[in-house]
Amino acid sequence: MRDIRERVLDILESIGRIEKYEPGGREEFERNELVQVWILHHLQILGEAVNALRPELEQGHPEVPWASIVGMRNILIHQYFEIDTDIVWSVVERDLPKLKVWFQAILDTLASG
Q: Write out the catalytic residue numbers.
A: 73, 78
- 106, 61 contact by CB (below 8 A): yes
- CA distance linking residue 17 with residue 14, whole number of Å: 5
- 46, 69 contact by CB (below 8 A): yes
In the three-class reduction of DSSP (H, G, I as helix; E, B as strand; rest coil), residue 65 is classed as: coil
Backbone angles phi, psi at 23, to 5 degrees: -60, -20
Q: Which amino acid is at 18?
A: I
